[in-house]
């Protein structure tokens, strides 16, 4: 006679990430040590340990039986009745681990003691090797590294399915691609790799070593991991080296949050205007992305310019099943952020109604659930036809228009995933600002205060409405939002440079002695400016100081708008200027920002001259 002992084995990688252990030998021994018996089902066994070769040899005479786990990690023993009253040591012999990259025959199997149990008292013995033990076995013995993660929407916490997630190792010279994976219906993904993947260098395969980015150069055991994620060409996660998780262990568990969401046409959730692009929130506060009381954006006191995406989320339908519409109103009258908003009557400009304010942009992407190779991804671009006469924007209308323009019926929406790109509407700020640029001014002459560019502020209000059966809009006040002050500017940065000694000659004559620069820099939102001098041989390559005005960097002081100098000496005593051709270059940058990127550095404005001794 005999009785059956059944069990299941899994390894824990993260709190919510497990793997089935298949092809593992399960071995029963008579107890080697008494007093350790348990019927524990919990993940953490009190007696788990690596079995040494010496211990395994001593226990040979205690061997009872062995079997192998199937594809689901299940195992089964038929045990003779003579062992009816016995407990057993349960060991596993691990020849490899799931998804290990290396299949080196020199790698010896690992024997692991799990517990001592009375199997006759159990219906089934489910055992999870705890992550601290399992991850160490995977990495230390089999060089198997793994990332388990989940991707979800930041606002709704809804998992994002079908996205491609790529893990990168930040290195000193070239970053290593650790691998990519596609998220499942729960937003989960898994990436497996080995140490050779992140120890690649320009001397690989001869020299493989992990290096940290930046200086001083450090050599570490684990990679510095950051992530990128895309869906239908849309960036969901766009981390950089600065976001890298340093020197990670064999198992890395991550949660990745994206502003972009994948929704269903019948999903309902709170609508919200949350930001400007991906750089600033639409809120007053002390956070690095918030607006201050005066209307400056973010910690660097940026000012909005050009076309700006007003970002957030809105479902296609209300809980009633009616269509959702939304709109943005703008007031020239402002109040400090954090105080009472301007009166309703001041919001006289409406995007989609007031000419010039609306800018077309991708607001939704439709991604075919089952790709066919033809029109699998359709960008839904906002259009003037999607607004009514009061500026209410109908995203469902935009979706249906896109489907019919591409040969689909509106009912074919069910064939597509709806990717909310986070852009509600895009605003052309140039249609709001009206300050003229400063007039041309000779180099070295300060801008006349009468011509200084004045500050321009606007208040922005977001409203959500439900389209009723009678064709009217029911405004939902609980979902509205107003930002009282937002500073905008679309003026050009003014900068001009000359060499005094060249202007006093033919502009082509060699010059000698002390050389003087003439420059003027001005912008109401100036962040930085600098002068640099170099010669052809680069024996001279240095910045020029004009203390305390220049160089200027990281400026947020609204009173520092630039400077002018009619006669700035650029020689460096003791004289370092040899006979050669020189270039004097002027660079500057404003704090203008479109919510995605800051306006690029302007320059160089350059003056060339030949210096003779």
Q: What is the pLDDT of residues 28-73, one digit of tens each?
A: 999 976 554 444 443 345 679 999 999 999 999 999 999 999 999 9
Quote the pLDDT of residue 118: 87
CA distance 464 to 313: 11
Quote the pLDDT of residue 210: 46
In residues, how long is the chain?
A: 613
Confidence category of residue 216, pLDDT binned at 50, 70, 90: very low
Report yes or no: 143 and 181 within 8 Å, Cβ to Cβ: no
Give the DSSP letter string of 467-527.
Answer: E-TTS-EEE-GGG-EEEEEEEB--PPPEEEEEEHHHHTTTSSS-B-SS-EEEEEEE-TTEE
Which one-letter DSSP state was computed for residue 450?
Answer: G
CA distance 475 to 424: 17
571-582 pLDDT, tens digit per residue, is: 987 678 999 999
Average pLDDT (131-141) is: 94
Quote the pLDDT of residue 490: 98
CATH architecture of the domain formed by 145-258: Sandwich (2.60)
Locate the domains of the chain by residue range. 2-135, 145-258, 264-487, 494-611
Structure tokens, 375: 């029109």
CA distance 547 to 524: 20
Quote the pLDDT of residue 352: 98
Q: Is the pLDDT of residue 431 over 90?
A: yes
Q: Is the pLDDT of residue 218 over 60?
A: no
Structure tokens, 316: 């296609």
Least confident of 173-187, 192-206, 361-375: 192-206
Which one-letter DSSP state was computed for residue 141?
Answer: I
Q: Is the pLDDT of residue 81 over 90?
A: no
Question: Which of helix, strand or coil describes residue 114?
Answer: strand
147-173 pLDDT, tens digit per residue, is: 999 999 988 889 999 999 999 999 877
Which residues touch 265 (CB under 8 Å, ≥6 apart)? 316, 317, 413, 414, 418
Average pLDDT (80-101) is: 90
Least confident of 56-60, 114-118, 219-223, 483-487: 219-223
Question: Which of helix, strand or coil describes residue 230?
Answer: strand
pLDDT, the chain, mean: 91
Least confident of 97-101, 120-124, 422-426, 608-612: 120-124
Quote the pLDDT of residue 477: 75
Quote the pLDDT of residue 130: 94
The CA–CA distances, whole Å, from 479 to 318, 459, 473 equal 12, 17, 14
Which residues touch 508 (CB under 8 Å, ≥6 apart)? none
Selection from 284, 279, 268, 267 nearest residue 311 by Cα: 279
Quote the pLDDT of residue 203: 42
- Calculate Rg over the CA atoms of the chain: 34
Report yes or no: 521 and 551 within 8 Å, Cβ to Cβ: no
Which residues touch 377 (CB under 8 Å, ≥6 apart)? 232, 233, 365, 366, 367, 368
Sign of the torsion angle spanned by Cα atoms 424, 430, 435, 441: positive
Quote the pLDDT of residue 613: 80
Q: Which residues pair with 479 in a beta bridge?
A: none
Selection from 429, 448, 577 nearest residue 489 by Cα: 429
Q: What pTM was computed for the model?
A: 0.80
CA distance 236 to 490: 29
Average pLDDT (335-342) is: 97
Structure tokens, 164: 């491609």
Task: Give me the CATH code for the 494-611 domain, please.
Answer: 2.60.40
Confidence category of residue 82, pLDDT binned at 50, 70, 90: confident
CA distance 62 to 59: 5
Q: Is the pLDDT of residue 281 over 70?
A: yes
458-512 pLDDT, tens digit per residue, is: 999 999 999 999 989 999 876 789 999 999 999 999 999 999 999 998 888 899 9
Selection from 426, 415, 302 nearest residue 362 by Cα: 426
Give the DSSP H or E segment for 503: helix 500-503
CA distance 137 to 11: 10
548-564 pLDDT, tens digit per residue, is: 999 999 999 999 999 99
Confidence category of residue 220, pLDDT binned at 50, 70, 90: very low
- Reported as half-sphere exposure (CB side, CA atoms, 13 A), residue 408 has a value of 20
Per CATH, 2-135 and 145-258 having the same topology is answered yes
Selection from 348, 361, 335, 493 nearest residue 432 by Cα: 348
Quote the pLDDT of residue 432: 98
Phi, psi of 405, rounded to the nearest 5 degrees:
-70, -20
Quote the pLDDT of residue 34: 56
CA dihedral 446, 450, 452, 456 (to 10 degrees): 170
Q: Is the pLDDT of residue 612 over 60?
A: yes
Four-way CATH pick for 2-135: 2.60.40, 3.30.300, 2.60.120, 3.40.1180 = 2.60.40
Quote the pLDDT of residue 171: 84
């Amino acid at each position: 006679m005999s009785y059956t002992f059944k069990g299941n084995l899994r390894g824990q990688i993260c709190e919510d990430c497990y793997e089935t252990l298949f092809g593992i030998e399960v071995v029963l021994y008579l107890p080697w040590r008494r007093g350790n018996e348990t019927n524990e089902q919990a993940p953490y066994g009190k007696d788990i340990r690596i079995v040494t070769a010496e211990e395994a040899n001593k226990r040979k005479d205690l061997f009872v039986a062995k079997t192998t786990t199937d594809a689901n990690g299940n195992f089964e023993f038929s045990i003779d009745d003579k062992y009816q009253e016995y407990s057993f040591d349960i060991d596993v012999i691990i020849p490899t681990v799931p998804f290990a990259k290396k299949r080196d025959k020199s790698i010896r199997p690992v024997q692991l003691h799990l517990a001592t149990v009375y199997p006759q008292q159990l219906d089934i013995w489910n055992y999870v090797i705890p992550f601290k033990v399992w991850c160490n076995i995977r990495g230390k013995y089999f060089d198997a590294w793994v990332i388990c993660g989940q991707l979800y929407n930041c606002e709704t916490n809804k998992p994002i399915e079908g996205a491609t997630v790529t893990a990168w190792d930040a290195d000193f010279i070239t970053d290593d691609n650790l691998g990519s994976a596609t998220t499942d219906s729960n937003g989960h993904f898994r990436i497996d790799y080995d140490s050779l993947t992140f120890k690649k260098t320009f001397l690989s395969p001869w020299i493989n070593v992990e290096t940290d980015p930046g200086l001083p150069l450090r050599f570490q055991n684990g990679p510095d991991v950051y992530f990128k994620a895309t869906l239908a060409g849309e960036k969901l996660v766009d981390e950089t080296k600065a976001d890298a998780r340093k020197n990670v262990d064999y198992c890395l568990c991550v949660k990745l949050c994206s502003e972009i969401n994948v929704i269903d046409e019948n999903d309902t959730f709170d609508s919200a205007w949350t930001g400007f692009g991906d750089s600033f929130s639409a809120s007053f506060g002390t956070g690095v992305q918030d607006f201050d009381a005066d209307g400056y954006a973010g910690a660097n006191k940026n000012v909005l310019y050009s076309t700006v995406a007003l970002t957030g989320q809105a479902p296609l339908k209300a809980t009633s099943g009616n269509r959702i519409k939304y709109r943005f109103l703008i007031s020239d009258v402002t109040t400090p952020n954090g105080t009472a908003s301007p009166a309703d009557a001041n919001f006289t400009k409406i995007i989609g109604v007031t000419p010039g304010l609306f800018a077309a942009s991708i607001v939704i992407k439709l991604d075919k659930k089952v790709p066919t190779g033809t029109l699998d991804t359709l960008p839904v671009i906002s259009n003037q036809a999607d607004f009514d006469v009061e500026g209410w924007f109908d995203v469902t209308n935009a979706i249906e228009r896109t489907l019919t323009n591409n040969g689909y019926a509106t009912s074919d929406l069910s064939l597509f995933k709806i990717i909310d790109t986070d852009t509600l509407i895009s605003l052309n700020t140039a249609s709001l600002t009206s300050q003229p640029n400063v007039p041309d001014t000779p180099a070295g002459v300060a801008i006349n205060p009468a011509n200084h560019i004045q500050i321009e502020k606007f208040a922005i209000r977001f409203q959500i409405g439900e389209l009723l059966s009678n064709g009217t809009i029911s405004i939902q006040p609980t979902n509205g939002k107003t930002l009282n002050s937002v500073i905008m500017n679309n003026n050009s940065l003014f900068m001009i440079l000359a060499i005094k000694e060249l202007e006093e000659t033919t502009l082509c004559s060699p010059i000698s002695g002390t050389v003087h620069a003439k420059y003027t820099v001005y912008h109401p939102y100036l962040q930085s400016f600098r002068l640099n001098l170099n010669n052809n041989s680069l024996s001279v390559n240095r910045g020029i100081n004009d203390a305390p005005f220049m160089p200027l960097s990281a400026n947020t002081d609204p009173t520092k708008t630039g400077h002018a100098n009619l006669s700035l000496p650029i020689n460096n005593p003791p004289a370092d200027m040899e006979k050669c051709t020189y270039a004097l270059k002027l660079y500057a940058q404003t704090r203008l920002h479109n919510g995605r990127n800051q306006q690029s550095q302007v320059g160089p404005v350059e003056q060339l001259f030949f210096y003779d001794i």
